[in-house]
Each structure stands twice: as structure tokens, then as C-alpha cells.
């Protein structure tokens, strides 16, 4: 009877050790999968952040280029107005000279 009890206890301990070992192995597998998932999520987040950063840089460069072109156009417009004003004054003088000369 005692031998049976001892054998039962040993079998229970053996089964408990197997269950424990399987649980440890399963938890290690779950941890490994979780780490892989985290790495994947981090890589995806980095890639998305890089895409967004490139988009922002491109947008900023386009805005900067737009501002530069606008400033250039405004400068050309100012120069054209100065030239036109000078030409207008010369044209008025010419017309006045021509008119005064005919009188």
C-alpha cells in the first residue's frame, strides 16, 4: 500500500514537472513571439515616421521654393514698375517736346 502511494506521489510529481516544463517552454515561446511582434511594430512605426518626415521635408522645401519664386517675381515686378515709370516719364517728355516744338 505504501509503495502504491509512493508511486502515485512520484507519478504526480513527474506529471507536475512535465506540466511546469511545458508551461515554461510555452511562456518562453509566447515571449519570443511578443518580442517579434514588438520589433515588427517598431519597424513599421519607424518606416511610417520616415515617410511622414520625408513628406514634411518635401512640403517644406516646396513651400520654401514657392516663397523664393514669389520673392523673385515681386522683385521683377518692382523693377518692371520702375522701368515703366521711367519710360512713361520719358514718353511724356518726348510728347511734350514734340508738342512744344510744333507750336
Q: Is residue 97 part of a domain?
A: no
Q: Within a domain: residue 71?
A: yes
> How many Cα atoms sit within 13 Å of 3 on the Cβ side?
0
DSSP summary character for residue 100: H
Give me the pLDDT at residue 45, please: 95
Structural domain tally of the chain? 1
pTM over 0.85: no
**Dihedral (Cα; 33, 39, 41, 43), 10-degree rounding:** -150
Whether 1 shows a pLDDT value over 80: the answer reads: no
Which three cell numbers mark 42?
517598431
Q: Residue 44's pLDDT is what?
A: 95
The answer to the question of residue 66 being in a domain is yes
Length of the chain: 103
List C-alpha distances in Å: 18 to 8, 21, 25. 15, 5, 10
Query: What domain range is 17 assigned to?
Result: 1-77
- Is 82 a member of any domain? no
C-alpha cell at position 91: 514718353
Percent of the chain whose predicted confidence (pLDDT) is above 90: 59
What distance in Å separates the CA atoms of residue 4 and residue 12, rounded to the nearest whole number?
Answer: 12
What's the grid cell of residue 16? 507536475
Amino acid at each position: 500500500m505504501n509503495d502504491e502511494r509512493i508511486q502515485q506521489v512520484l507519478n504526480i510529481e513527474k506529471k507536475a514537472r512535465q506540466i511546469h516544463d511545458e508551461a515554461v517552454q510555452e511562456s518562453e515561446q509566447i515571449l519570443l513571439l511578443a518580442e517579434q511582434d514588438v520589433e515588427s511594430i517598431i519597424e513599421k512605426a519607424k518606416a511610417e515616421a520616415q515617410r511622414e518626415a520625408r513628406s514634411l521635408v518635401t512640403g517644406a522645401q516646396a513651400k520654401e521654393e514657392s516663397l523664393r519664386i514669389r520673392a523673385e517675381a515681386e522683385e521683377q515686378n518692382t523693377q518692371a514698375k520702375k522701368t515703366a515709370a521711367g519710360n512713361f516719364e520719358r514718353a511724356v517728355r518726348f510728347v511734350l517736346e514734340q508738342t512744344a516744338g510744333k507750336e
